[in-house]
Amino acid sequence: MQPHEIYSLRARDVMNRNFVLASPLETVSDAIAKMAACGDCQVTIVDRADEDDAYGIVTFQEIVYKVIAKSLSPTRTRVGEIMEKPLIVVNPTLRLPFVAQLFSRFHIQNAIVIEEHRLVGVVSSPDLVMALNK
C-alpha cells in the first residue's frame, strides 16, 4: 500500500466492531469468558457508570500483568480493579496516520471509536498494521 493510500484510510475503515462490554463489577473470569465467546475479541471495554464517566479497557496484557503475574484470583478480581481508564477516544473519520501518532504519543495500543456519543468500535495497533497489507 502506498503512503497516499494509507493517508486516505480512516479509523472506521479498520476498527473492530466486535468487542465485549462489561461492567466494572464483573470478574476477570467473566470478562475472559465473554472474550472467548466473542471469538475474535481482543479487548473488553468497561462500561461507564453514567454519561459523565469514562470508558475503561481490559486487554490480555492487563490480565497477564495485573492478575496472573500477581497471582490474583480471576474469579475474585473485578474488572474495575485492573482496567485502564480513561481511554483515548477517536472519531471514526480520523485518518490512520493521526491515529498512529496518538498511539505513539501516549504509548497506547488501543483507542475506542465514538460516533454521535455512541461507542461504535475499537481500533488497535494490529488493526493499523494490517491496514498496510490491504
Q: pLDDT (tens digit, 9 = 90+) per residue, 88-106?
A: 999 999 999 999 999 999 9
Task: Give the closest residue to 8 by CA, choosing from 96, 105, 71, 111.
Answer: 96
Q: pLDDT (tens digit, 9 = 90+) per residue, 32-72?
A: 999 999 887 888 999 998 888 999 999 999 999 999 999 99
pLDDT at 121: 95
- List Cα–Cα distances, 46 to 12, 21, 24, 130, in angstroms: 21, 6, 6, 25
pLDDT at 41: 81
Answer whether residue 14 shows pLDDT above 80: yes
Domains along the chain with CATH numbers: 3-131 (3.10.580.10)
Task: Give the closest residue to 45 by CA, choosing from 125, 131, 129, 123.
Answer: 123
Q: Cα–Cα distance between 68 and 74 in angstroms, integer?
A: 8
pLDDT at 112: 96
Report pTM: 0.87
pLDDT at 39: 82
Answer whether residue 18 shows pLDDT above 90: no
* Mean model confidence pLDDT for the chain: 92
pLDDT at 111: 96
First to last CA, the chain: 7
> Is residue 74 helix, strand or coil?
coil
Q: Which three cell numbers stand for residue 44?
A: 473488553
Q: Which three cell numbers stand for residue 17?
A: 466492531
Q: Cα–Cα distance between 25 and 28 in angstroms, integer?
A: 9
pLDDT at 3: 59
